[in-house]
Amino acid sequence: MLGHDRIDAETYHRDIVPGLLIGAPGRRAEAGLTGLDPLGLRIGEGAWTYRAHRDRLRIEEGIAADAGCVVRLSPDAWTDLVTLLRTAAALAIAGDVHTEHGSVADLFRWEPVLRALYQGIEIYLPHGPQVYDRHGELVDPAAELTLDHPDGELADRFEATGVMRVRGVFTAAEIAALEAEVDRLAAAARPDDDRSWWAENEAGEQVLCRLVYASEHSAPIAALAHDPRLVRLAGLLHDDLAASTDRMEGISVLLKPPGRLKGLANIPWHTDCGLGGHHIMCPSVAIGIQLTGSSAETGYLEAIPGSHGRTCPQPTREDLANVPYVAVPTDPGDVTVHVADVLHASPAPAGVGGRRTMYVTFHPPTLFEQVGPGEAINDLIRSRTAGEVDAGLGR
Ligand SMILES: [Fe+2]
């Protein structure tokens, strides 16, 4: 994967940051300052304190005595943070955030502000639970959509929400054929095969929770990369996206095994660029082919429609009443379609579990230029145990 030339933190803070602060990036950063204690950043030999000062972002040289959190980053790690190649979570999981004071969670709280300042990415600020499209029309994110809806209508909705469900895309016979392929691949999967993710059940046993690169050993699954229905849905907003089968984990299958699990089976609120690579992979579109269907009992997709293209701070359960929250129950043969950077979650099943969803993800040309065959940004977490990931994230 391509990296970036190292950015000199001294030069950047002296020559670049003042312009950012008085321009649009600074104004965007201000939107996220509420409640943040001063942040001390030690980068190589240099040190700076970022703070909210009368609703403005101010950056001073040195570490101030009132910094609630002080972290030390190598110049390369900080360069990755500035360029979005790696997020704070990815740096923390890799052991590249050294906390001198406070916790890594404080750095996570600052991250929307840092992304706004460094890259001009807006912070998502919902104004209630409604979503409107670009014509000012109210959009129902849970609408019943099918392939019979015209492209223009689907595109308007998808542009507004970044997530939608399309009913009845695959027939029962097609789903049965794909299920048989998943059964075959799941039976052959082993924890050390580099082609699967495993969680741990209550008895301490390893349980398969994801197959990756499923298209490598299945012609019917590989054919989905060119399925005209999926190509049509993926291309509603950007017609230059293409399905990846040989990188970014190819076509993958999420399996929600029954029971309580530890590890990577259930994924809390995240974006698919949550470890990094936003500028490379967004606006990728992930299409979830519902093999079993999904419900609260089996675990389903949840999302904050309209949060895509921006940084959406992690919502609490209470926040969900005031944001455009949607849960997406499905039947077998439906598909979910989401933009990589819409905030979404795959919560634990409320009941017995057992959901299976196959993901075909369509990426922009930048992804294929910068991420080589066999590479994926998720490699970072797949190569670590659940305990190591939790420890890195300060959980
Ligand atoms: Fe995701």
The mean pLDDT value for 179-204 works out to 93
Tell me how far the alpha carbon of residue 197 lies from the centroid of ligand 1, in angstroms.
14
Residue 147 vs residue 5, higher pLDDT:
147
Q: Kindly report the length of the chain.
A: 395
Distance 75 CA to ligand 1 centre (A): 29
SS3 for 378?
Answer: coil
For residue 38, the CA-to-ligand 1 centroid distance in Å is: 31
Does pLDDT of 217 surpass 70?
Answer: yes
Give pLDDT, residue 231. Answer: 98
Average of pLDDT values for 153-180? 97
Kindly state the average pLDDT of the residues 15-31: 97
Residues whose CB falls within 8 Å of the CB of residue 93, separated by 6 or more in sequence, listed in order: 275, 380, 381, 384, 388, 389, 392, 393
Mean pLDDT of all residues in 205-225: 95
DSSP codes, 218-258 = -HHHHGGGG-HHHHHHHTSS-TT-EE-SSSTTSSEEEE--S
Cα 14 to ligand 1 centroid, rounded to whole Å: 37
> In this predicted structure, which of 114-123, 134-143, 254-263, 301-310 has the lowest mean pLDDT?
254-263
281 versus 387: which is more confidently predicted? 281
Rounded CA-CA distance 224/205 in Å is: 32
C-alpha 214 to ligand 1 mean position (Å):
17
pLDDT on residue 391: 66
**pLDDT of res. 254:** 93
Q: Looking at per-residue confidence, does 164 or 3 come out higher?
A: 164
* Ligand 1 centroid from CA 339, angstroms: 9
| Position 268 confidence tier, pLDDT thresholds 50, 70, 90 | confident
Ligand 1 geometric centre to CA of 271 (Å)? 6
Instruction: Say yes or no to pLDDT of 384 above 60.
Output: no
pLDDT of the residue at 353: 76
Give the Cα separation of 112 and 134 in Å (integer).
25
383 pLDDT higher than 60: no
Give me the helices (H) in 164-304, please. 172-188, 219-222, 228-234, 278-281
Mean pLDDT of 219-230: 98
Tokens of 76: 């390369």
Ligand 1: distance of its center to the CA of 345 in Å?
7
Q: How far is the CA of 61 from the centre of ligand 1 (A)?
A: 38
Q: Calculate how far, in angstroms, residue 348's C-alpha sits from the geometric centre of ligand 1.
A: 14
- What is residue 354's predicted lDDT score, i.e. its pLDDT? 81
Computed over every residue of the chain, the mean pLDDT equals 91
pLDDT mean over 103-121? 95
Query: Which structural domains are found in the chain, ordered by start?
Result: 9-119 (3.30.1050.10), 131-392 (2.60.120.620)
Ligand 1 centre from 48 Cα, in Å? Answer: 34
pTM of the entire structure? Answer: 0.89
pLDDT by residue (tens digit) across 25-35?
999 999 999 99
Report, as an integer, the average pLDDT of 47-60.
96
Average pLDDT over residues 290-302: 91
CA–CA distance from 178 to each of 42, 107, 182, 217, 287 (Å)? 51, 43, 6, 13, 15
pLDDT tens per residue across span 62-98: 999 999 999 999 999 999 999 998 999 899 988 999 9
332-367 pLDDT tens trace: 999 999 999 999 998 888 877 788 999 999 999 999
The whole-number pLDDT of residue 387 equals 64
CA of 16 to the centre of ligand 1 (A): 33
For residue 80, the model assigns a pLDDT of 92
Ion ligand 1: protein residues whose beta carbon lies under 5 Å: 272
